[in-house]
Amino acid sequence: MYRILIVEDDRGIAESIREQANMWGFTAKCAAKFSNIMEEFAAFDPQLVLLDISLPFYNGYHWCAEIRKVSKVPVIFISSASDNMNIVMAMNMGADDFIAKPFDLNVLIAKIQALLRRTYDFGNTVPVLEHRGAILNTGDNTLTYREEKISLTKNEYRILLALMENKGKVVSRERLMERLWETDCFVDDNTLTVNINRLRKKLDGAGLEDFIVTKFGRGYLVE
């Protein structure tokens, strides 16, 4: 179980993040002693830190620099001060990512999972997959984009899951048909084409144009 330290002085935001993180199986703790974040950091020993810029006593840049003196733990800045200067400064201070407020909690969780996976390699299966702001929830088989859910059939979900699990890689038509056969229904080449075309229309209609790219003679990918 991965521990996340939330360094955010807005209690409403901090508690919302903590509750969402706990729902996804993380152990999240909200920092309380803003005059000495390093004391809480040492006591909690987190695997990831969420860090606001504007804080009492010392700002987030100060604490990021202090953390980097003793640890390579992943740090994600969460802040409404999302101009280019602040983003560049955060990354130069040692941050791994920057998420602007207001943000969608599902997107935040997806980014946390991706960063933990890259850092600690904790497995292949993740509850949510994210690409271009679209969130595929593998728990309830739903796709969310701009806070709206896109209805998917079982076959459309399996196609999208296979592509998003292999983001940046071409997935062959044969592999996609194997995934569809797992639904216990007969799938031929024409059926796959029909399903992909329908899925593309749904994605285009939701504002996700060219989400699925065709690589002729090879297969499909999201990139």
Q: For the segment 82-110, what is each residue's pLDDT rounded down to a tens digit?
A: 778 888 888 888 888 988 888 889 889 98
Same domain, 139 and 116: no
Write down which residue in 79, 101, 120 finishes a domain. Answer: 120
Q: Looking at the whole model, is its pTM more than 0.85?
A: no
With beta carbons less than 8 A apart as the criterion, state whether 43 and 36 touch.
no
Q: What gap in Å lies between CA 114 and CA 124, rounded to an integer?
A: 11
Same domain, 116 and 9: yes
Q: What gap in Å lies between CA 130 and CA 165, rounded to an integer?
A: 10
Q: What gap in Å lies between CA 118 and CA 54, rounded to an integer?
A: 28
Counting the structural domains of the chain, the total is 2
Same domain, 99 and 163: no
Same domain, 112 and 134: no
Structure tokens at 1: 């179980």
Write down which residue in 103, 120, 137 finishes a domain. Answer: 120
135 sits in the region (left: phi over 0; alpha: psi -120 to 50; else beta) called beta
Q: Report cis status (omega within 30 of 0) of the bond before 127.
A: no
Write down which residue in 95, 120, 145 finishes a domain. Answer: 120
Average predicted confidence (pLDDT) for the chain: 87
Domain around 29: 3-120
